[in-house]
Structure 1
């Protein structure tokens, strides 16, 4: 008696190579809080991205942004932000040398308001949306720009009273990616 085992796999599924990448980002970010717009400052981040299928990756990342300084009536102010959270990227085309994508991220956003040498911290949920494109240089290395818009909840004073609206951030990043899975 013979037992026959058959497995049905689509050609696309059989060819999918699961990819894990480390992304390092550098860029410029600006934003605003409580009706004040802040000029661009420096930004950097690190992210681990794992491919789920040909069109979707999920990962976890860390990003830090520091706006430029606003000077008004003898005061100086700027904001520094740190985000930790999950990131999902949707690639509309199958994996190729040029890969545009859209992204959605959610996590914890820590905002620190610096005014005249004093600072106040505030943590809240952070949501980010964005888009970018990766250009493969080799099987292991890729580069590309990314634009993100991030929002985190409003600040509270030392007594827990809400004192302002949410904190927004717009950032233009340049990323370098290293493929951990490529042979």
Structure 2
């Protein structure tokens, strides 16, 4: 059986040089990734990429090459700032979203306060109505009692209708709020 000839890596193909088993770039730029190496080469140059890879211990080289490729692609998109520009843009977006969340939290608190105030006003109005109903019943002499209600049930519909107050007249709503 004949041994399969070694296929040159993307870097050696692009640089038109002989690719051997000792090629430092071959593990990171296989033959089918010519575009990826082209971007890296255009931004950093092949000799600089080799120097950067050699500076990193072998166990971390794959991550280093991924970072080099990422930065090269970022530099193509933004030649001045590269990935730092993308990071800065994302940080700006995070700050804007934080401010938006703070604004929404403040608005939620405001609406909850309005709701609580409204509920207190309604409860106060109901309490006033309840006390008013008892006062009226107590003032009516029992032998002249002609209300078609059961005095022992101060919340009967007839009594409530007779003495009901519209809380909206006493406590007009201000602002735009939602329950």
TM-score grouping bracket, smaller chain normalisation: under 0.3
Q: TM-score, normalised to structure 1's length?
A: 0.20
Comparing both structures, which one devotes a greater share of its residues to strand?
1
Higher RCO, 1 or 2 (CA under 8 Å, sep at least 6)?
Answer: 1
Q: TM-score, normalised to structure 2's length?
A: 0.21
